[in-house]
């Protein structure tokens, strides 16, 4: 079958690996192996329940909300590693052996272009996946639902190159299939770099569909056979190229009509005006039309995508977080006296602020206030008798039926002032488990990280606390 869109740009654009006419891309950073990550492991359900504060609604990060068949939560493991936890619908994978085999196979992948799969859980009817947590939202958020500035052309080109490199790596490791590749599957790490979520390497269930999006975006061969192939993934890559070019989710058939009519202006995002040349736009359109060929064998492979996209890159010396406008590193604007005190490790001020705050942030969690051990702990805390306060608070926490996050926070401060930073970190993390949206818990974790000499982790905790506090302020002002 010939190329229907060969007249666009004056030459046939459907050459692929199947006819040997595409140059091969050089290896990318020795495949970008991520050797600093732990090996894939099995987690207990209790570990993941604690990590997500009991699968709290406040920790849901799924773009499709709480009612989605499989919900993704953010969480923090006992070793303080931040993770994303995907919890499948009950009985989605009735065969536990098949689930484990699939998860372990995906878990062997380790690459800097992926949000890597760290582990899984398979207990009773529960099936969960654990992935690296990417804190800077999805491509869909930045592309379709941006609030301040649209994504720059240079960043859009970087997204598709990184995605092509991720697919090339997965293909080289024998994992060429990806289910329902779309803008929600691309997430951004701490540095603002785009990564491909490994969650999409597995179906949503053993017998589930590989595509859940609108049929208009589904590869034509999948509609015929119900099977996903490596070429189907390339078709979905083409739809993402259209997303990035247009800033909208345009059905491929409509986009190809515009391409056939050489109506490039109608296809491109008006927000990108002046950011790229006609030649660059034409190249990206040509690549999209190749990926969207009706015949699977006429589509390119990931290696040739990398070859085509590499020379198009712009502003390569500019870090992704700068292009994205994402705060990074030491960039932190304290919103409250407590945040500022923790950021500069003024423990005297932290102690005083938490004493003056009292227990108003417990929001009904602590109902054991009449216990003498807690009252004695508060007296010792007020008089800066930290060892006595630790002892009294420990007695209270061991006896209480409902744990107070403020008691955990106060004991954390006592540990910090007693030069016991690891114990302080454990208490601050426990306060966050009890009350996931309490900024104080994040700020105290930052102080403990600073005391442990873990600067990067401290900055992340400060930013998490700042984000929680900003949400709280916004909610109270409505």
How far is Cα 20 from Cα 24, in angstroms, rounded to an integer? Answer: 10
| DSSP string covering 3-25 | -TTTTGGGS-----TTTT-SPPP
In which residue are the tokens 């500022």 written?
Answer: 340
Closest CA to 391 of 357, 418, 426, 354: 418
Indicate the DSSP class of residue 119: E
Contacts of 17 (CB under 8 A, 6+ apart): 300, 301, 303, 304
Cα maximum dimension of the chain: 85
- The Cα-based distances of 251 to 77, 220, 324 in angstroms read 40, 13, 26
Q: Which bin fits 66, alpha (ψ -120 to 50), beta or left (φ > 0)?
A: alpha
Which stretches does DSSP call E strand in 92-242? 114-115, 117-123, 126-132, 186-188, 194-197
Find out whether 73 and 108 touch, Cβ atoms under 8 Å. Answer: no
Respond yes or no: is residue 180 known to be catalytic: yes
Q: Beta-carbon neighbour count of residue 477 at 10 Å?
A: 6
Active-site hit among 29, 36, 58, 180: 180
Active site amino acids: 180
């Amino acid at each position: 079958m010939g190329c229907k869109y060969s007249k666009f740009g004056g030459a046939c654009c459907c050459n692929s690996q199947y006819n040997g006419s595409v140059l091969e891309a050089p290896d990318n950073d020795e495949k970008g192996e991520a050797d600093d990550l732990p090996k894939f492991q099995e987690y207990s359900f209790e570990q993941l329940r604690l990590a997500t504060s009991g699968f709290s609604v406040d920790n849901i990060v799924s773009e499709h909300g709480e009612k989605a068949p499989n919900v993704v939560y953010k969480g923090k493991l006992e070793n303080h590693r931040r993770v994303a936890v995907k919890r499948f619908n009950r009985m989605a994978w009735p065969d536990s052996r098949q689930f484990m085999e699939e998860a372990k196979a995906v878990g062997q992948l380790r690459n800097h272009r992926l949000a890597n799969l760290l582990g899984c859980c398979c207990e009773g009817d529960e099936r969960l996946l654990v992935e690296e947590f990417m804190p800077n939202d999805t491509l869909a958020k930045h592309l379709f639902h941006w609030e301040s500035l649209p994504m720059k052309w240079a960043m859009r080109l970087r997204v598709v190159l990184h995605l092509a490199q991720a697919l090339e790596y997965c293909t080289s490791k024998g994992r060429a299939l990806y289910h329902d590749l779309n803008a929600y599957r691309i997430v951004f790490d701490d540095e603002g770099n785009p990564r491909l979520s490994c969650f999409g390497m597995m179906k949503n269930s053993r017998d589930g569909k590989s595509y859940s999006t609108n049929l208009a975006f589904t590869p034509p061969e999948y509609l015929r056979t119900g099977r996903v192939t490596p070429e189907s993934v390339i078709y979905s890559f083409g739809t993402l190229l259209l997303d990035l070019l247009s800033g909208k989710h345009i059905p491929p058939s409509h986009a190809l009509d515009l391409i056939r009519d050489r109506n490039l202006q109608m296809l491109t995002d008006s927000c990108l005006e002046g950011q790229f040349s006609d030649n660059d736009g034409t190249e990206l359109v040509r690549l999209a039309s190749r990926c969207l060929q009706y015949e699977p064998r006429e589509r390119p492979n990931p290696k040739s995508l990398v070859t085509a996209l590499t020379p198009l890159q712009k502003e390569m010396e500019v870090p992704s977080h700068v292009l994205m406008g994402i705060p990074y590193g030491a960039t932190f604007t304290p919103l409250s006296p407590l945040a500022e005190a923790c950021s500069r490790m003024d423990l005297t001020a932290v102690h005083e602020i938490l004493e003056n705050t009292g227990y108003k942030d417990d929001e009904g969690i602590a109902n054991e206030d009449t216990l003498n051990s807690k009252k004695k702990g508060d007296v010792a805390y007020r008089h800066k008798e930290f060892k006595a306060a630790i002892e009294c608070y420990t007695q209270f926490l061991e006896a209480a039926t409902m744990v107070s996050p403020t008691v955990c926070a106060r004991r954390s401060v006592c540990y910090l002032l007693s030069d016991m930073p690891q114990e302080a970190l454990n208490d601050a993390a426990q306060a966050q488990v009890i009350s996931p949206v309490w900024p104080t818990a994040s700020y105290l974790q930052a102080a403990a990280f600073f005391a442990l000499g873990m600067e990067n982790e401290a900055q992340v905790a400060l930013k998490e606390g700042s984000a929680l506090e900003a949400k709280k302020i916004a909610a109270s002002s409505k």
